[in-house]
Structure 1
Amino acid sequence: MIVYQLLSGPQRFCTIEAKVGISGRVLSERLKDFENEGIIRREVFPETPVRIEYSLTNKGLALE
């Protein structure tokens, strides 16, 4: 579900959480797992407040 959600492009945590419908804690764990596997990229933007976006890597896009 998370990978499918990111097929449309980079998204923020709150957007993914609302669309996938799982708790923030579980989503956070899954995103970390996918990031460690090289499926998802986490990009931090140096803004105030800090903005973090998640997107698929080439490996993640290959899962489509």
Structure 2
Amino acid sequence: MASRLAVAGENVVPAAIREKKLELHQVTQKLERLSFEQGDALEDRQREIAERMYDDEEPE
């Protein structure tokens, strides 16, 4: 009986580790996506500001 529990325990731990690695991978992907989205939003905002500054400098 004890040997069966030991074997079962050995199977449970790697499964739990695989599950946590999958969760970590999913969270990492989500963070990367959010980072890219924020980077794109920042670039858009910087472009808008630069265009406004350029428009303000043009003689009327």
Task: Give the helix-richer structure, 1 or 2.
Answer: 2
Q: Which structure shows the higher strand fraction?
A: 1
TM-score, scaled relative to structure 1? 0.25
* Bigger RCO (CA 8 Å, 6+ sep): 1
So what's the TM-score if we normalise by structure 2?
Answer: 0.27
Which of these two proteins has the greater Rg computed from alpha carbons?
Answer: 2
